[in-house]
Structure 1
């Protein structure tokens, strides 16, 4: 039976740009608070416009440049590839130890490695920035598996097929093959998935579970025991189900529509009985953000602020 730890903090609006201090907020009347949150959300708009332009450049303009003699590569050519420092890409099947990952700014030789899968609308440069944020926050080396973007509509369509476990997704294939190989070699793996990356993570984990059961003939208990060598963290993930076995920590912002509507749900969720965070999972729910739902979903400027070390999280110490 799934055990879900629900740790919900009090509402504490936070902006990625011009946030007021706690004392200033307390002095505001309800209408002023709404206006303050709206201003915070609007302050983030220029960043999201730039993100959209970056995605268009990666998914479309670069493709045209290539077709007409340019040397730029569309983002989809990196789909499912490993990502290392300075945006270097490596083909699936490359040993993790051979990939020079992104390291913390204050520690070029960390002892731990985290495998990270990004969400939708994120070109390679965007994932690289997220990897640096994870490295600085966790103190670990970060190796990415790139979930390429081809624009909002195509990315959302792929989310649907991922939820239905239909069609091919190169990022799922690379992650599943990597996890299976590492487990068979007796090595632990620490992985993170954000937004669609959390959905990709869940799909890959189910693939690994099935492979261990069908190809290797392991029992359910043996499979769970082997998969317990996986430490899994998700942030604003779009998956409602995860297989038993791995050690999970799921971060859900109640002000983020992605996990609350398409993932494990918020603190109040009438459909909670249909969802499965994985046996023994820790689900940390909190409320942070403004009136801009995109701001409330950001990995580097919001979710990383709430992350604690994996061991602390598993103990419920947030």
Structure 2
């Protein structure tokens, strides 16, 4: 073999050796990346499992606490997410609103406006039915409830946490979202009222409606918000901090009520608190009605309905007393 051939052979051997080294290095990097990926995936699963496990523990603990202290009301669960009409009758979530006999004002059996109402925590179906009558008498409208069932104070609070995180299944959210979507897609206006956790449920359902308009119907942001302008919303002592733009909002907040003050829109105007958003163009009525028992300051019929004024008047900022 002449010198030139030996030189070529040497170059070939070096190239071959380098190639093997590079291949081994590439394999090592690939194996390392795969190991990292598997670790991340496994870690993600572990975190997910931890969250789910935590939720299950909270739910079981809440049920146990509710049972020990006697606030459990498991029978009410059968009404979860159902419509509540006149006489406390319940109807399945797929029932058209036109087929539900609404609660009407005592002094006006033939009102033209319909209001949907979502109740707060620790409220049985019969207690909600009583609230429906109070709303009808106060507003002069026919009223239909969407029931947020109670399983006891502790379990209800655990569900509020999940609603805050927009996580888990809440039948009242599904019924309300489907109802709002179907009504506005049919060209009908909707008037919604909600108290306490009902405000959380409403915020979550309104967000679902907005997503459906954007994703399923392919609407632009502007068109979706315009469509949602058919929805009028009144909240009372609500525990939600954010509401999607589009609907017309009036929010009532008792500064002496710990629920909206700590977990909702807060005791001051939302323009001073960037952490909250009542929805574009919303009107927030802050008032102060203290009670020796702070929970009493959260009462729907005893406190909030006493401060309500007609929706259009409230939208003009004229709350009066």
TM range (shorter): 0.7 to 0.9
Partner of 1:193: 194
- Does residue 232 of structure 2 align to residue 231 of structure 1? yes
CA–CA distance in structure 1, aligned partners of residues 276 and 206 of structure 2: 16
The answer to whether the Cα contact below 8 Å between 2:81 and 2:171 also exists between their aligned partners in 1 is yes
Task: After the TM superposition, list the runs of 4 or more consecutive aligned residues in structure 1 that deviate by more than 2 angstroms.
Answer: 55-58, 267-271
CA–CA distance in structure 2, aligned partners of residues 253 and 309 of structure 1: 18
Q: SS where residue 132 of structure 1 aligns?
A: helix
Partner of 1:75: 76
Q: SS where residue 294 of structure 2 aligns?
A: coil
TM-score normalised by structure 1 residue count = 0.77
CA–CA distance in structure 2, aligned partners of residues 271 and 200 of structure 1: 25
TM-score normalised by structure 2 residue count = 0.76
- Does residue 229 of structure 2 align to residue 215 of structure 1? no
Unaligned runs of 5+ in 1: 1-51, 61-73
Q: SS where residue 294 of structure 1 aligns?
A: helix
Structure with higher Rg: it is 2
CA–CA distance in structure 1, aligned partners of residues 163 and 245 of structure 2: 19
Shift of 1:131: 0.9
CA–CA distance in structure 1, aligned partners of residues 137 and 237 of structure 2: 19
CA–CA distance in structure 1, aligned partners of residues 273 and 259 of structure 2: 15
- Does residue 155 of structure 2 align to residue 141 of structure 1? no
CA–CA distance in structure 2, aligned partners of residues 231 and 160 of structure 1: 25
The answer to whether the Cα contact below 8 Å between 2:72 and 2:153 also exists between their aligned partners in 1 is no
Shift of 1:221: 0.3
Q: SS where residue 273 of structure 1 aligns?
A: coil
Shift of 1:241: 0.1
CA–CA distance in structure 2, aligned partners of residues 56 and 119 of structure 1: 19
Partner of 2:121: 120
CA–CA distance in structure 1, aligned partners of residues 227 and 208 of structure 2: 14
Shift of 1:271: 7.8
Partner of 1:159: 160
Residues 1:269 and 1:282: Cα distance change in structure 2 (over 3 Å): closer
Residues 1:173 and 1:268: Cα distance change in structure 2 (over 3 Å): closer
- Does residue 73 of structure 2 align to residue 59 of structure 1? yes
Partner of 2:180: 179
Partner of 1:89: 90
The answer to whether the Cα contact below 8 Å between 1:259 and 1:265 also exists between their aligned partners in 2 is yes
Aligned length: 253
Shift of 1:294: 1.5
Q: SS where residue 144 of structure 1 aligns?
A: strand
Shift of 1:268: 7.4
* Greater helix content: 2
Shift of 1:272: 1.5
Shift of 1:299: 0.5
The answer to whether the Cα contact below 8 Å between 1:58 and 1:123 also exists between their aligned partners in 2 is no
CA–CA distance in structure 1, aligned partners of residues 199 and 311 of structure 2: 16
